[in-house]
Amino acid sequence: MAHRHAAAHPDPSPDRQHTFVPATTSTIATQINVNDPDDKMGGIDYLRLDKNRDKAYAFDLAFDESISQQDVYEKASATLRHVIDGVLRGTNACCFAYGATGSGKTYTMTGVPGQPGVIPLTVAGLFEAIDASKTRVVVRLQYVEIYNEVVKDLLDPSDKITLDVREDPRQGTFVAGAASLVVGSREAVEDMLARGNQFRTTSATGCNEVSSRSHAVLQLRLETEKEGGAKAIGKLALIDLAGSERATKTDNRGQRLNEGANINRSLLALANCINALVQGGGPGAGRGRGHAHVPYRDSKLTRLLKDSLGGKSTTCIITNVSPASDQFEETINTLKYANRAKNIKT
Ligand SMILES: Nc1ncnc2c1ncn2[C@@H]1O[C@H](COP(=O)(O)OP(=O)(O)OP(=O)(O)O)[C@@H](O)[C@H]1O
Query: 307-340 burial, b if ≥16 CB within 10 A, otherwise e?
Result: bbbbeebbbbbbbbbbbbbbbbebbbbbbebbee
Q: What is the ipTM score, two decimals? A: 0.97
User: Does residue 37 surpass a pLDDT of 80?
Assistant: no
- Please report, in angstroms and rounded to a whole number, the separation of the first and last CA atoms in the chain: 10
Query: Which residue has its alpha carbon closest to ligand 1 atom 1?
Result: 7
Angle at 20 between CA 17 and CA 25, to 5 degrees: 115
Of 292, 274, 276, which Cα lies nearest the Cα of 342? 274
Query: Tens digits of per-residue pLDDT, 51-72?
Result: 455 578 888 888 888 888 888 8
User: CB–CB of 1/315 below 8 Å?
Assistant: yes
Helix (H, G, I), strand (E, B) or coil at 314: strand
Query: Within 198-282, where are the H helices?
Result: 247-250, 254-278
299 is in an annotated binding site: no
pLDDT the model gives residue 265: 76
| For the CA of 242, the nearest atom of ligand 1 | 25
Query: Which residue has its alpha carbon closest to ligand 1 atom 30?
Result: 107
How many angstroms separate the alpha carbon of residue 53 from the centre of ligand 1? 27
Minimum mean pLDDT range among 34-38, 110-114, 270-274, 317-321: 34-38
**What percentage of residues in the chain have a pLDDT greater than 90?**
24
User: Does residue 8 surpass a pLDDT of 70?
Assistant: no
34: enclosing H helix or E strand: strand 29-34
Tell me the average pLDDT of the chain. 77
102 is in an annotated binding site: yes
Distance, in Å, from the CA atom of 212 to the CA atom of 209, rounded to the nearest integer, reads 10
User: Does residue 189 surpass a pLDDT of 80?
Assistant: yes
| For the CA of 67, the nearest atom of ligand 1 | 1
Query: Tens digits of per-residue pLDDT, 71-118?
Result: 888 888 777 778 888 898 888 998 999 888 888 998 999 888 889 999
pLDDT the model gives residue 48: 43
Query: Tens digits of per-residue pLDDT, 216-235?
Result: 999 999 999 887 878 889 99
Q: Does domain 2-341 have CATH number 3.40.850.10?
A: yes
Count of Cβ atoms closer than 10 Å to residue 61 Cβ: 20
Most confident segment among 168-172, 182-186, 241-245, 249-253: 182-186
Burial (CB count <10 Å: 0-12, 13-18, 19+), residue 44: exposed
104 is in an annotated binding site: yes
| For the CA of 210, the nearest atom of ligand 1 | 17
106 is in an annotated binding site: yes
Q: Which residues line ligand 1 (CB under 6 A)?
A: 7, 10, 65, 99, 101-107, 112, 208, 210-212, 242-243, 320
Query: Tens digits of per-residue pLDDT, 138-173?
Result: 999 999 998 888 899 999 877 667 799 999 887 788
Sorted by where each begins, the domain ranges of the chain are 2-341
